Amino acid sequence: MNHRLLEKPKVILFDLGGVLINFIGLQGVGKLLQNDPAPGEIRNRWIASDAIIQFERGGCSPGEFARTFVEEWGLALDPDTFLEMFRSWIKPPFPGVEDLLSDLRERFILACLSNTNELHWRTMLDEGGLRKSLDKHYASHLIGKAKPNWEVFAFVVQDLGCDPSEIIFFDDGAENIEGAREAGLFAYQAQGFGELEMRASQLGLLSPGYRSTSGR
């Protein structure tokens, strides 16, 4: 199968959690639940959660979010304790991310689009070192729109000043890939850094001198 694009893209747009950054929130909340649901069930519940949706669109404060989430999920802990745990679920970028972005940045504009919140956003960009590695940074809680809605992709396209077909988007969520494609972007699912690296190689995005660090 030929994975290469017909036209050279101008922009590579990345999701953060699960693609460039290790986000352990689903595992973390799973440990707090008493009925031990499957990972897929937790993810489906997470993306449909009213508390998450409001917080990731900038519609509530951290305190309001914590109170709503604890009640919504029936957690046996107080909101302040939950918030401390919630903050800790953002981990550093996957090993190899810095080298990959450095290679790609020689030829493409690099940007990120994340469904995130005020507690995680600065940690991901600054403590993870991604602010300096990416040219543009888009966060749902600042835009007021979130994936997979086509409107958030339209916002990004307009801000970048390019055609949707000039953007390649990588995300770990199938629903976000579908939303991006509906908005006219080239979009590919990548669950973790190893799969991202593989997709980038298949699409001919990496330089001949790039050396894999993921072992794939």
**Which tens digit of pLDDT belongs to each residue from 13-40?**
999 999 999 999 999 999 999 887 898 9
Q: Enumerate domains of the chain plus CATH numbers.
A: 11-22+92-202 (3.40.50.1000), 25-88 (1.10.150)
Give CA–CA dist 31/88, Å, rounded: 14
pLDDT at 215: 55
* Residues ≥6 apart with Cβ < 8 Å to 209: none
User: What percent of the chain has a predicted confidence (pLDDT) above 70?
Assistant: 95
Q: Is 70 exceeded by the pLDDT of residue 72?
A: yes
Rounded to an integer, what is the distance from CA 61 to the centroid of its chain?
A: 21
- Which of the pair, 5 or 78, is modelled with greater confidence? 78
Q: Is residue 6 very low, low, confident or very high in pLDDT (cuts 50, 70, 90)?
A: very low
